[in-house]
Structure 1
Amino acid sequence: MNVIACWHTLVSSLERHMNMEGNRSPTKTVDSSNPGNGLAARILDFLETVSPSRNGSVLRGKKMFGSMVDVGCGDGKSTLLFAPYFKRINGIDRSKAQITKAEDAMAKHPPVSKSSISFQVATGEKMPFPDASQDLVCFSRSFHWMELMSDALKETRRVLKPSGCVAMYCTSFPKIERQISYEEVALGRAVSEMNKRSNEMLDNFFRNFCDMHPRCSLAVDDRYQRIYDSIAVENLAKRGSKFIIIDDKDLAIHKRCVSLTDFSDSLRAYAGYKCAMLALKRLEMDTNPLEDLLKDLRFLWGVEDLSDDEIFLNITWDVSLILCTRPARIK
């Protein structure tokens, strides 16, 4: 089945089954890749607003909720966002390797929290939790990867308490800015134009070289709008309890002071890049568009005399967020 056919099958399945859808160069890398308190706070505010008297309790001056599931938790960074706010947090992912990473990270850097956090291999279509046991189900950049989204929504409805909520968020392709020195600013470098051109080149790399899965467009281009339109929730007219947030800069994911070495390694780990490179290998083509991109960026930035470990970037991923109360019954 070709890409266009896959896309039309995906959309028709969705509609049919759900029936609704300027600094000095730094000396080290600072990891701030989590969406941060902005995203967690927005989700928790919604949860408290739609069910203020039934979900939460106060512990040491903080609002504490009962239990939640982080679906597609990956290496656990998204899960830790909620550690200060829930008594129990369950991180699930279909990848055993990712669960191992999350458990290792938790062992090395346990959260300063009273939360009980556990990770296990499981899917959003079949969650290993009792009926009506969760206050929140959060799909962390994962809902568009559910094998059958309608099944994931049915399972979400099953495990959520009647007063529970759903959060789904996705991200755009990364946007980059090179960190430049005061000296370069003084020389009048056209920083905004340079950043604009850098991101045009990066976007071209993702779209025209990488083998982008059709479902990625639900996150990158559609920004979950079609998924939002497909979801029906209980008591919508009464509560006004479903909305989508797009392009809110307060929710953006930021990663500061990333070396070009680390950024290029992350691009090499991208599944779309790996698939495209395998295709080139089968065709016996001795070319690497990622190396060409890095070379062009270094030329654009005028830093050909620096090593990749001496070039630092700020990276931003825009976030789209869906918040809603318990999904309605799905036939």
Structure 2
Amino acid sequence: MADAAVPRPAADRLRPALRFLGRRLLQALIVMLLVVLLNFSVLQLAPGDMISVLSGSSDMTAEQMVSLRAQYGLDQPWLARLGIYLFNLAQFDLGYSFRNAAPVATVIAERFPTTLILVVASVIVSLTVGTLMGVVAARRAGSLADLVLLAVALVFYATPSFVIAIVLILTFGVTLGWLPIGGLVTVGAGLTGWAWLADLVAHLILPVIALCTFYVAIYARLARASMLEVSSLDYVRTARAKGVPEWRVVYVHALRNALLPLVTMAGLQVSSLIGGAILVETVFGLPGMGRTAYDAIFERDTNLLLGVMFVSALCVVLVSLVVDLLYVLLDPRVSLE
């Protein structure tokens, strides 16, 4: 008689996960180092510096400019500045923002929550709406509803986000006056609790719609194609043959595997939204990372711009790791081995 299967010790089960995390953390460290080197090198190639910008807005003599460049190390060779920057970065010191007269970490800590709220809300809305559109279109493939949903998705896909933002502002903000068109909350209102939350949501509605319409179209088309492919597989036909309710076949059996390409796209969306938020935050006057990077470019605040790009790259790397882990949860065929 064959011996009964002996359960694997907990340590043996954890080893693949630890090896996976170790590999990914090493890859993340290499990627972040390359990103830091590339960003620093590109910004150093740009003409001018913060002192040049300051001299244009004040009566600063040439001697004062030389003194300030020496004070902040801007007169050092490129390799020396890079070494100082890497040394400070290893100590989690992102430098000092000249224009904001504050440490870069402090400025980013103040602006990051706005971008985080905007990105998370956009991902949730676009993924939910796009997936539902794709599922409905797939279940009614070839019908009028399918054609209408595909046409709507095509319009969303073809229309730039800044055009949608302007239309939303003119329609719902200026003409109808239903929603606020700028800022994150009503300044000076002194709202707290649920009133503050309702005010925050009202300010986010237009920016989130402007930011996520493009991705709603992508998710809708991906979900439709994936659902049509999964619906023809054997396990879905078997579930229907066993008399499983149609809603359970669609939303439990088929949708779980159909979500795999959407999860990948969600990871890519986060990366794109961090960069795309510059436009939306500027149009709607949101004090986020995108607006901060936009201002830092024109003000030649190199330390602040490097800090924003570093934090953005770190977020992208972390999201990539989360997407890999979600793959393991969604698809039993994917292993950490």
TM-score by length of 2: 0.25
- The structure where strand makes up a greater share of residues is 1
Structure number with larger C-alpha Rg: 2
